[in-house]
């Protein structure tokens, strides 16, 4: 074993256990390793020119490049930072590179006799562009210096590496894909956080339904798949796989409560008697724990009990039914946030004058900006801000389309409600119950009001305005989609994900009127009324706009968010989920979608989970999704203008012809 030496050739400072040239045994691995995502890991650097490798002490050397620059090349950190991007390219992308950088992680598999068998996995960083030959060289070198009793597998770090390895037999380079390694993890972080509360474990939807009415703010709800109408509580636990982009996890993110997949909850409950007990629930990317408390802690009422969200007064004057492309974001007080954002999207795509580079232009220390990375992603040799603004607008307009359709203003909702004395009376009773906080009657009042809405005839003036906006679609019997667009959603501190209705199978005038009434009625559902009341949103100020669109058949549909939901400090990646047909299947928990992370800074993408399908999407489809992910990042610069780091939540469709249509764009609850 060779100790690491400093620049003068002397042993490193006490405490640095980095070794050079030694063979790797399991005890040495454990001595040097740290823990990432629940697994021990060790950083390694192969120096090809010296035909040796370095096993880094993880506690002392958290970054490969810092170690190489300062310990091997004799640079200072200031010298490294001054030319960091060029240095990174020399170690991650240069085909003739001197250094090969990787991580060894330790995992276990079950032997037939029930015992655990350890094995190592070698991978590079996610942005590394190693060729197949370099990957094979790296694997072969490491295999020759790792204890032969430990199986070693190579994990491609991105889709490009998967393609490079396709021509190399697995006998030469045994491998494992990311979704194969992590798809069956026992515990998975969905939304980081910590809470103390009473664990309520429901093993079926029937058990949950029987107890749902008594759930309170200090409960932590555990079940295989939480329903979208779960009330606001202290924490969520899923015992079956689900995506971080589900409606329930978007709620968890917006409510700032912990949420995780805990597949071994049965064993934890049986071992520690947790069901019904007071617990401390911690969710981090690298560890998820449920610790039984000795008794009920002294809990303060959550902050949201004092939270008061104010919304602007709705504009109910003579606002006409308008085509979506005629709206802008400033129209949200007349047509709702969703409709206004889709109108703004039309403007961005049609005018091509928006600056879509703000995310890349802001400082990312030690870099002054990321514009050179944006130029690389766009294939531009001219990194000037003017050229990049043009290229970014062109890329977005070439990649996606905004949906055609019309927006029904709040005025129509108001005309409908004021057309019926019975509706006015029902609204008055509900408002009084909310003022008196008579929660025992609120649900029944809401349900009664919804029945009245469904049974109240539509005023002729309203019918003419709606049918006159889509005459050709009604005459031809085309399928329509009717979506909600309220002024009480997509607000800071109140996302309202999944609490309002949309209807996707509408044909003919009668079904259209019924669908509009259903969307209006969802504004006074028991759950939506309770959630708004909890944060101080007045029923008087709340109105519902409606979007009517022609149905577009899709071979693939999904949701992307312009962040990594489980690692908030990661500004590089866009998280994208998709499944066959509708994006609603991604968020409602009916299937487990394909899940991808796309790096929009250095480039590249990787598969997180292949979902219920059991197989990954074809390479050309994944490449198209990478373009979509970059488009989402560029749109973030416009729609998050107040803070370009605020993530977006985008629903999209991919038609049979491979064209992308965005059907919703809104802030992502963080």
- CATH number, span 553-667: 3.30.470.20
Region of 587 (left: φ > 0; alpha: ψ -120 to 50; beta: rest) is alpha
How many Å apart are CA 388 and CA 367, to the nearest integer? 18
Average pLDDT of span 328-341: 95
Mean pLDDT of the chain: 92
For the stretch 413-423, pLDDT in tens is 999 999 999 99
Average pLDDT of span 121-140: 96
Q: Which residues contact 286 (CB under 8 A, 6 or more apart)?
A: 35, 36, 37, 38
Quickly state the pLDDT bin for 25 (edges 50, 70, 90): very high
pLDDT at 306: 61
Instruction: Answer yes or no: is pLDDT of 453 > 70.
Output: yes
Class of domain 307-356+394-551: alpha beta
Instruction: Answer yes or no: is pLDDT of 426 > 50.
Output: yes
For the stretch 171-205, pLDDT in tens is 999 999 988 887 778 899 999 999 999 999 999 99
Instruction: Answer yes or no: is pLDDT of 362 > 50.
Output: yes
Instruction: Answer yes or no: is pLDDT of 37 > 80.
Output: no
Average pLDDT of span 623-648: 94
pLDDT at 7: 39
Beta bridge partners of 579: 557
Cβ count near 168 (within 10 Å) = 16
Quickly state the pLDDT bin for 303 (edges 50, 70, 90): low
How many Å apart are CA 104 and CA 463, to the nearest integer? 65
Average pLDDT of span 636-657: 92
Instruction: Answer yes or no: is pLDDT of 474 > 70.
Output: yes
Where, residue-wise, is CATH 3.30.470.20 in the chain?
A: 553-667
Q: Which of 358, 285, 341 is nearest to 664 (CA)?
A: 341
For the stretch 507-546, pLDDT in tens is 999 999 999 999 999 999 999 999 899 888 999 999 999 9
Instruction: Answer yes or no: is pLDDT of 169 > 90.
Output: yes
pLDDT at 2: 47
Instruction: Answer yes or no: is pLDDT of 554 > 50.
Output: yes
Let me know: does 121 contact 153? Beta carbons within 8 Å. yes
For the stretch 369-396, pLDDT in tens is 999 999 999 999 999 999 999 999 999 9
Where, residue-wise, is CATH 3.50.30.10 in the chain?
A: 187-303
pLDDT at 5: 45
Quickly state the pLDDT bin for 8 (edges 50, 70, 90): very low
Tell me the three state secondary structure of residue 411: helix
For the stretch 273-290, pLDDT in tens is 999 999 999 999 888 999
Instruction: Answer yes or no: is pLDDT of 11 > 80.
Output: no
Region of 627 (left: φ > 0; alpha: ψ -120 to 50; beta: rest) is alpha
Quickly state the pLDDT bin for 260 (edges 50, 70, 90): very high
CATH 3.40.1190.20 assigned to 187-303: no
pLDDT at 123: 97
How many Å apart are CA 630 and CA 597, to the nearest integer? 11
**In the chain, pLDDT over 70 holds for what percent of residues?**
96
Instruction: Answer yes or no: is pLDDT of 482 > 90.
Output: yes
Quickly state the pLDDT bin for 16 (edges 50, 70, 90): very high
Angle, CA 530 vertex, CA 524 and CA 534 arms, to 5°: 135
Instruction: Answer yes or no: is pLDDT of 6 > 70.
Output: no
pLDDT at 581: 75
Where, residue-wise, is CATH 3.30.1490.20 in the chain?
A: 307-356+394-551
pLDDT at 496: 80
pLDDT at 114: 66
């Amino acid at each position: 074993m060779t100790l690491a030496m400093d620049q003068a050739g002397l042993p490193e400072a006490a405490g640095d256990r980095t070794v050079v040239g030694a063979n790797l045994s399991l005890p040495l691995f454990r001595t040097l390793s740290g823990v990432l995502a629940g697994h021990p890991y060790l950083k390694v650097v192969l120096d090809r020119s010296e035909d040796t490798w370095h096993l880094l002490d993880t506690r002392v050397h958290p970054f490969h490049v810092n170690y190489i620059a300062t310990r091997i090349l004799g640079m200072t950190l200031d010298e490294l930072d001054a030319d960091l991007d060029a240095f990174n390219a020399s170690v991650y992308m240069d085909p003739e590179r001197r250094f090969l950088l990787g991580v060894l992680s330790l995992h276990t598999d079950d032997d037939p006799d029930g015992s655990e068998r350890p094995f190592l996995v070698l991978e590079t960083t996610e942005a590394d562009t190693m060729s197949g030959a370099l990957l094979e060289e790296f694997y072969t070198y490491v295999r020759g210096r790792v204890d032969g009793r430990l199986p070693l597998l190579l994990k491609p770090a991105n889709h490009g590496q998967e393609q490079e390895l396709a021509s190399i037999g697995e006998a030469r380079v045994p491998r494992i894909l990311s979704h194969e390694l992590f798809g069956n993890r026992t515990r998975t972080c969905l939304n980081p956080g910590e809470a103390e509360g009473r664990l309520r474990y429901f093993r079926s939807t029937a058990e949950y339904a029987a107890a749902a009415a008594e759930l309170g703010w200090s409960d932590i709800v555990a079940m295989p798949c939480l329903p979208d109408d779960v009330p606001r509580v202290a924490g969520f636990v899923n015992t079956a796989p689900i995506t971080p982009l589900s409606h329930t996890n978007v709620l968890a993110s917006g409510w700032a409560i912990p949420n995780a997949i805990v597949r071994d909850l049965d064993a934890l409950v049986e071992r520690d008697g947790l069901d019904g007990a007071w617990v401390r629930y911690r969710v981090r990317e690298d560890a998820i724990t449920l610790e039984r408390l000795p008794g009920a802690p002294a809990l303060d009422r959550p902050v949201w009990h004092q939270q008061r969200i104010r919304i602007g007064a709705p504009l109910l004057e003579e606002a006409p039914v308008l085509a979506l492309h005629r709206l802008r974001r400033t129209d949200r007080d007349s047509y709702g946030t969703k409709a206004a954002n889709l109108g703004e999207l039309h403007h961005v795509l049609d005018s091509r004058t928006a600056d879509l580079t703000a995310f890349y232009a802001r400082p990312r220390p030690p870099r002054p900006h990321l514009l050179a990375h944006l130029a690389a992603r766009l294939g531009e040799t001219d990194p000037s801000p003017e050229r990049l603004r043009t290229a970014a607008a062109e890329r977005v307009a070439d990649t996606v389309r905004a949906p055609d359709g019309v927006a029904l203003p709040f005025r129509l909702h108001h005309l409908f409600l004021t057309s019926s004395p019975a509706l006015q009376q029902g609204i008055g009773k509900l408002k009084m119950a909310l003022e008196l906080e008579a929660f025992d009657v609120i649900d029944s009042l809401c349900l009664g009001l919804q029945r009245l809405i469904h049974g109240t005839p539509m005023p002729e003036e309203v019918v003419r305005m709606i049918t006159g906006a889509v005459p050709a679609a009604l005459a031809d019997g085309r399928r329509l989609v009717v979506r909600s667009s309220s002024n009480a959603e997509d607000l800071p501190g109140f996302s309202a994900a999944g609490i309002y209705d949309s209807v996707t199978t509408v044909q003919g005038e009668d079904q259209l009127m019924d669908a509009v009434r259903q969307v209006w009625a969802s504004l006074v559902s028991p759950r939506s009324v309770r959630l708004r009341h909890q944060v101080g949103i007045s029923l008087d100020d709340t109105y519902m706009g409606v979007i009517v669109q022609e149905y577009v058949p899709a071979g693939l549909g999904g949701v992307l968010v312009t962040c990594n939901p489980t690692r908030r400090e990661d500004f590089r990646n866009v998280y994208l989920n998709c499944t066959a047909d509708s994006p609603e299947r991604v968020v409602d928990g009916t299937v487990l979608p394909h899940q991808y992370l796309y790096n929009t800074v250095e480039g590249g993408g990787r598969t997180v989970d292949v979902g219920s399908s059991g197989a990954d999407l074809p390479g050309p489809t994944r490449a198209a999704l990478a373009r979509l992910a970059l488009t989402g990042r560029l749109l973030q610069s416009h729609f998050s203008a107040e803070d370009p780091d605020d993530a977006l939540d985008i629903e999209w469709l991919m038609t049979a012809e491979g064209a992308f249509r965005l059907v919703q764009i809104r802030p992502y609850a963080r």
